Copies of this chain bind each other. A is one copy, B any other.
Amino acid sequence: MKSSQSLELRNPDQDVFFMRQALALAEEALYVPSPNPRVGCVIVRNAQVIGRGATQAVGSHHAEIMALHDMQARGLNAEGATVYITLEPCSHHGRTPPCVDALIMARPERVVFAHFDPNPHVAGRGMRLLREAGIEVNVGVCADLALAVNPGFVSRMTRGVPYVWMKIAASLDGRTALSNGVSQWITGLEARADGHHWRARSCVVLTGIGTVRADDPQMNVRHVATVRQPRRAVIDPGFEISEDAAILKGEGAIIFTGDQNAEKYARLTDRGVQVVYVPEESAPVAGRVRRRVDMRAMMKWLGEHDTNEVHIEAGSGLNGALLNADCVDELLVYLAPVLLGEGMGMAQLPALTKLEGVQRFEFTDLKQLGADVRLRARLPEHWRELMQKIHLTEYTTGQAL
């Protein structure tokens, strides 16, 4: 049925308008469905939204099913409607039945999704099945915004490693602590709460043994409400962590170590702490040799263990090592309006003699948070790679399928 009303919906501005509503639903679920992607869905007929849904916690309904239920609860059906989804609907039996089947049953006139399933083995299959069922499909509306909602899921599916951001709170002159280590509180309440928002959306909060020893942090989510706590992980090459460390309390703590200590291992694993051996490499840092786990091997392990997004909150030594190993995609920097002069820096990096060739991030967002500001900056090469993975042209035209 091609009515004039439904043709009206081919308007690209309207597609963007409704896809943004679906994205807003996905963002509302930011803390919830991990390791599944956050997905939003709106069903639209005659420019009216007749169903809305977002992905629920793991094992429960996906966004499309929620939106179809919402529509049915209003006593409506999908005839002549367009379904906007922020991700290609799933076509396989996972923890839930395939959403494509439910969509085909509902028989909308058209399905629009932001980007393909990033899993290259299934990408495009949802589209093909819908088209074979006679449903019109359009792909690529707001793909960049949808990637920003699920960079970790896309990264894990396409690169095999999580999407990683590094949180740093510092003075305007880049000092994260005074020379004597005092750092509480350079930035204020709003910045701290925002930091907890980023913890809450992550799968794993990662820090180093130095920070654990100095501050004994819990590294959990407290300043925002969440239904799910991320796992906490410590990089501890020498397996030196105190078994009383606050970060080991609660479920799902991880220790990445290069050291063997069978008794300590047994005691901790008995308590539910996951101790992961990672190959070690020794690296000269700031003049002395430090033990380091292989950062890339660690990220690969995380990617293999359902980790979409990693939130790093560590000291300058570990920050430098992670940056140096190219394990960081984005910086999340909170700056307070103070100058401290002396103090700890953001990251220990190899000394440079020239500025040519220095790795340049790109600022994506500036925001005032109380008295402080937040700057987000990402590595453009990493982002471009992810964008390319979800923009495969043979899929978007549908010719190759």
Some 18 contacts from A to B, beta carbons below 8 A apart, are A170-B174, A172-B346, A173-B345, A174-B346, A178-B352, A180-B353, A182-B352, A184-B355, A320-B341, A323-B339, A335-B375, A337-B360, A338-B358, A340-B349, A340-B352, A341-B345, A342-B349, A366-B367
Could you mark each residue 142-182 of chain A with 1 if its beta carbon is under 8 Å from any beta carbon of chain B, else 0? 00000000000000000000000000001111110011101
Which residues of A342-401 are within 8 A (CB) of B? 342, 345-355, 358-363, 366-368, 371-373, 375, 377
CB distance from A198 to the nearest CB of B (A): 17
A351/B341 contact (C-beta < 8 A), A172-B333, A363-B371, A377-B172 known? yes
Q: Does A331 contact B (CB under 8 A)?
A: yes
Would you call A371 and B362 a contact (CB within 8 A)?
yes
A387 to chain B, nearest CB (A): 18
**CA distance in complex: A340, B174 (Å):** 11
Interchain CB contact under 8 A, A338 and B361: yes
Name the contact of A366 in the complex, choosing from B173, B336, B355, B368 (C-beta under 8 A).
B368
Minimum CB–CB distance from A315 to chain B (whole Å) comes to 13
Does A360 lie within 8 Å of B341, measured CB to CB?
no
CA distance A342 to B366 in the complex (A): 25
Q: List the B side residues contacting A183 at CB < 8 Å.
A: 355
The interface bits of chain A over 90-119 (1 if a CB of B lies within 8 angstroms of the residue's CB, else 0) are 000000000000000000000000000000
CB of A185 within 8 Å of the partner chain: yes
Residue from B179, B338, B352, B366 in contact with A373 in the complex, judged by beta carbons closer than 8 Å: B366
Q: Does A186 contact B (CB under 8 A)?
A: yes
Whether B358 and A350, one on each chain, are in contact in the complex, defined by CB atoms closer than 8 angstroms, is: no
Interface of A is mostly: loop
By a CB distance below 8 angstroms, the chain B residues around A342 are 349, 351-352
Q: Which 6 A/B pairs are nearest by Cβ-Cβ distance?
A: A174-B174, A341-B349, A337-B361, A173-B346, A173-B174, A337-B377
For chain A, residues 80 to 94, give those with C-beta under 8 angstroms from any C-beta of chain B: none
Determine the distance from Cα of A348 to Cα of B342 in the docked complex, in whole angstroms. Answer: 7
The answer to whether A354 and B172 touch across the interface, beta carbons within 8 angstroms, is no
Q: Is the CB of A338 within 8 A of B366?
A: no
Q: Which residues of B lie under 8 Å from residue A173 when comparing CB positions? A: 170, 174, 345-347
Chain A residues 165-220 with CB under 8 Å of chain B are: 170-175, 178-180, 182-186
Tell whether, in the assembled complex, residue A331 and residue B172 are in contact, meaning their CB atoms are under 8 Å apart: yes
CB distance from A354 to the nearest CB of B (A): 6
Contact in complex: B347, A178 (CB < 8 Å):
no
Cα-based distance from A372 to B375 in the complex (angstroms): 11
Residue contact B349 to A363, C-beta cutoff 8 Å? no
Kindly identify, within residues 278 to 304 of chain A, every residue whose CB is under 8 Å from any CB belonging to chain B: none
> In the complex the two chains form, is B368's CB within 8 Å of A363's CB?
yes
State A328–B146 Cα separation when bound (angstroms): 45
Which residue of chain B lies nearest to A333 when distances are taken between CB atoms in the complex? B172
Residue of B nearest to A367 (CB): B366
A44 to B178, CA, bound (A): 56
> Known interface pairs A174-B174, A377-B172. Does A347 touch B341 (Cβ–Cβ under 8 Å)?
yes
Which residues from B are CB-within-8-Å of A368? Answer: 363, 366
**Contacts A172-B333, A173-B174, A347-B173 given; does A358 touch B340 at CB 8 Å:** yes
A178 touches which of B323, B348, B354, B361 (Cβ 8 Å): B354
A169 to chain B, nearest CB (A): 12
Whether A371 lies near B360 (C-beta < 8 A) is: yes
